[in-house]
A and B are shown apart, each in its own frame.
Chain A
């Protein structure tokens, strides 16, 4: 190269060994999923458990595309993170490839004036069917066999794919140290609070820290407000442990948290981000 001072743009994450992509390429057919259970998480979020014949499993952090079709033929699609990837922690190669029905879960945060999220969260009942395909995204994923420490930072419904990682870690019996920092407006907006408390209380390898941006629960003595550098430094694994870091939430949250973690000494190459835009 004639310009020896030019920064080298590629880093280790571009080596084929670390793509987190499957060895075998596959097309993504549409599946018909049947609602097996629904659970209200908050006043504006509902979890749907879906039975999906032919589902080949997913890694935690991946998402699916959901397709709705109206009687007049109008059709529209949205992406939703898996809250539970179905066949958790099981290597693709060892899974049956046909005639299987896996149960996956989505958590749908209702977007005001949305077209798809209110339908999924409010209209769908047990027994209804929707079309979906996936899993999609081979980057914002945690590999259950990876023993490295993991730091998860979620803002609002950005917790959903991180919960998929926490659940997978538990089901796979992983001992990888996990810390989860989850930031929400008020206790009424907290997703999965009881389940996270239960998991953390029985597992010293999982630490869960809640942060409240508008209103804290009664008796809370910590700060209330946007996560600052001090709060992130206190709640997150230190950079010296070289944790994998996954940050998910609304764009301003992800921009703020990711750049603050870099300024705290975390290696930018170890920080993977996913932003939740308005996907009504």
Chain B
């Protein structure tokens, strides 16, 4: 039972597309744990594999040559803001997974990024047109502070799962927690079930 806040009156628009506890944000706030990495596209590559094994690897040019999709999605940050109809361009994870063998027992993924950031999620959440490696935002290259040159985009989960500066996806046979998941944040992070922190 919630405590009523004396004299508190809502000022924000409500929208059925806002998950519980979220408010509508028109800007695009930045959250990062450390400095924005400097990236050299001539040596940049994206790897899909498992720990110790690179099953496929794409250079920047090779990634851009893959079929691209333009998507318009709502994104939900655990710090409470939601941005509706954000426009992205990138490669579906389905396209990348088609290039490798995936073992039946590999049902978990750990994303690894420049700067050491990691985040985990079930493989099922990256399949079926629900996730991308995004390199374009709002009709332009993805800005560095928002994860450029490329970030994971998993809009149906809280946005810390959409790892900036992503460099590798490791398929795992057992779940392994990532950076924020080890530091108090929820393993799965469904905004509609308000899974922000441990125990939510």
B-contacting residues of A (Cβ < 8 Å)? 1-3, 6-7, 9-11, 13-14, 16, 19-21, 25-28, 32, 65, 67-79, 113-115, 119, 123, 128-131, 136-140, 251, 255, 258-259, 261-262, 268-269, 271-273, 275, 277-279
Chain B residue with Cβ nearest A5: B43
Report the stretch among B23-31, B97-105, B134-142, B148-156 that lies at the interface: B23-31
Question: Are A28 and B5 in contact (CB-based, < 8 A)?
Answer: no
CA distance A69 to B54 in the complex (A): 50
Contacts of A275 in B (CB 8 A): 29-32
Does the CB pair B54–A1 fall under 8 Å?
A: yes
**Chain A residues closer than 8 Å to B53, beta-carbon distance:** 1-2
Cβ B199 vs Cβ A26 within 8 A? yes
- Chain B nearest CB, measured from A26 CB (Å): 7
Q: Does B80 contact A (CB under 8 A)?
A: yes
Chain A minimum-CB-distance residue to B31: A275
Question: Could you give 12 example pairs across A and B, Cβ below 8 Å?
Answer: A7-B114, A16-B182, A26-B199, A69-B4, A70-B9, A76-B21, A113-B11, A136-B197, A137-B183, A255-B30, A259-B36, A277-B29
- Whether B3 contacts A115 by the Cβ 8 Å rule is no
CB distance from B80 to the nearest CB of A (A): 5
- The one of B5, B47, B79, B118 that contacts A14, using a Cβ cutoff of 8 Å: B118
Assess whether B10 is interfacial by the CB under 8 Å rule.
yes
Size bracket of the B interface: 35 or more
CB pair B54–A9 under 8 Å, yes or no, is no
Neighbour of B3 across the interface among A25, A72, A131, A251, CB < 8 A:
A131
Query: What residue of chain B has the Cβ atom nearest to residue A251's Cβ?
Result: B30
Which residues of chain A are near B3, meaning CB under 8 Å?
32, 69, 129-131
User: Which residues of A have CB within 8 Å of B198?
Assistant: 25-28
Q: Which residues of B contact A28 (CB under 8 A)?
A: 197-200
B34 interface residue per 8 A CB criterion: yes
Contact in complex: A69, B199 (CB < 8 Å): no
CB-contact partner of B10 in A19, A26, A70, A255, under 8 A: A70
Mostly, the B contact residues are loop
Give which listed residue, A27, A115, A136, contacts B11 with CB less than 8 A.
A115
Q: Which of B70-90 contact A (CB under 8 A)?
A: 79-81
Whether B116 contacts A21 by the Cβ 8 Å rule is no
- Per-residue CB proximity of B156-177 to A under 8 Å, as 1/0? 0000000000011000000000
B113 cross-chain contacts in A, Cβ below 8 A: 9
Complex contacts, B8 vs chain A, CB 8 Å: 68-70, 119, 123
Contact of B12 among A13, A25, A76 (CB under 8 A): A76
Q: Assuming A10-B112, A137-B183, is B5 touching A279 (CB within 8 A)?
A: no
B33, B36, B118, B168: the one contacting A139 at CB < 8 Å is: B33
In the complex, the 7 A-B pairs of residues with the closest C-beta atoms, listed nearest first = A27-B199, A277-B29, A138-B183, A258-B35, A69-B2, A9-B112, A68-B5
Which chain B residues lie closer than 8 Å to A138 at the CB level?
182-184
Q: Could you tell me the distance in whole angstroms from the C-beta of B44 to the nearest C-beta in chain A?
A: 9
Q: A20-B183, A21-B182, A138-B184 are in contact. Are A9 and B34 (CB under 8 A)?
A: no
Q: Is B193 interfacial (CB 8 A cutoff)?
A: no
Which residue of the partner chain B has the closest CB to A119?
A: B8
Q: Which residue of B lies closest to A16 (CB)?
A: B182
Asked whether any CB of chain A lies closer than 8 Å to the CB of B14, the reply is yes
Task: Please judge, given known A-B contacts A6-B45, A14-B118, A71-B4, whether A277 and B12 are in contact too, CB under 8 Å.
Answer: no
List of A residues within 8 angstroms of B21 by Cβ:
67, 75-77
Are A268 and B35 closer than 8 Å at their CB atoms? yes
Distance from B177 Cβ to chain A, minimum over Cβ atoms (Å): 10
A273 B32 Cβ-Cβ under 8 A: yes
In the assembled complex, the CB of A119 is this many whole angstroms from the nearest CB of chain B, namely: 5
* Interface residue? B130 (CB, 8 A): no
Residue B57, interface by CB 8 Å:
yes
Q: List B contacts of A2 (CB < 8 A).
A: 53-54
Indicate which residue in A67, A123, A278 contacts B7 across the interface (CB closer than 8 Å).
Answer: A123
Asked if residues B34 and A258 are in contact (CB atoms below 8 Å), the reply is yes
